[in-house]
Amino acid sequence: MKNNFIFIGMPAVGKSTVGVVVAKRLGMKFIDTDLLIQEQENRLLREIIADVGEDGFLRIENQVNRDVNAENAVISPGGSVVYCEEAMQHFKEIGTVVYLKASYQTIKRRIRSPKKRGVVLREGQTFKDLYHERTELFEKYADITICEDGCRIEETIENVLDAVESLGK
């Protein structure tokens, strides 16, 4: 197995902000695959979703994440990557999947308007439905779970570092 760490979890849980600091602390590269999607498609995520719809976005997200070729990297995909089977299969093969977990209340507090933030939400689906649907998938793919309820971001980072460092022991 290659030594990559891949963050999964709900939008706004901290995959991008925690991921970049963890990469720096571990002397690893950092890849935010949402930025790769924007670069490939030459527009913003919310513009892609508006143009091609949720299913179209998930097809692009699957292709971009499946094609990531990384070594010694922390990879932060978007929260909806757990719907992308090939991408998740690839991540399980190239690294350790770290699930950043926070309660529904914590996530809801950070995201006032899921639609405006570009969360992949199906017609008629509430954000709470989405939280529960995704939780099952996060748990299915996680190698490590870090719970951040009640933690400041600095503590979350330390908890992730402790967990990944103890893997090597």
Ligand X SMILES: O=C(O)C1=C[C@@H](OP(=O)(O)O)[C@@H](O)[C@H](O)C1
Residues annotated within the binding site for ATP are 12-17, 117
Give burial (CB, 10 Å; 0-12/13-18/19+) of 72: middle
Nearest position to Mg ion, beta carbon: 16
Check binding of 152 to ligand ADP (CB under 6 A): yes
Q: Is the CB of residue 154 less than 8 Å from the CB of residue 22?
A: no
Determine the interface stretch with ligand X among 90-98, 113-121, 146-154, 160-168 (rule: CB under 6 A): 113-121
Residue 143, token pair as written in the block: 């190698």
Residue 43's binding partner among Mg ion, ligand X, ligand ADP, none (Cβ under 5 to 8 angstroms by kind) is none
CA gap 156, 121 in Å, rounded:
27
Nearest position to ligand ADP, beta carbon: 14
CA gap 75, 97 in Å, rounded:
9
Helix, strand or coil, per DSSP, at residue 83:
helix
Check binding of 65 to Mg ion (CB under 5 A): no
Check binding of 62 to ligand X (CB under 6 A): no
The least distance separating Mg ion from the CB of residue 78, rounded to whole angstroms, comes to 6
Site for ligand ADP in 73-92 (CB under 6 A): 76
Check binding of 78 to ligand X (CB under 6 A): yes
Give burial (CB, 10 Å; 0-12/13-18/19+) of 122: exposed
Give contact residues for Mg ion (rule: CB under 5 A).
Answer: 15-16
In the complex, the residues that contact ligand ADP under the rule CB under 6 A are 9, 11-18, 76, 110, 148, 151-153, 156
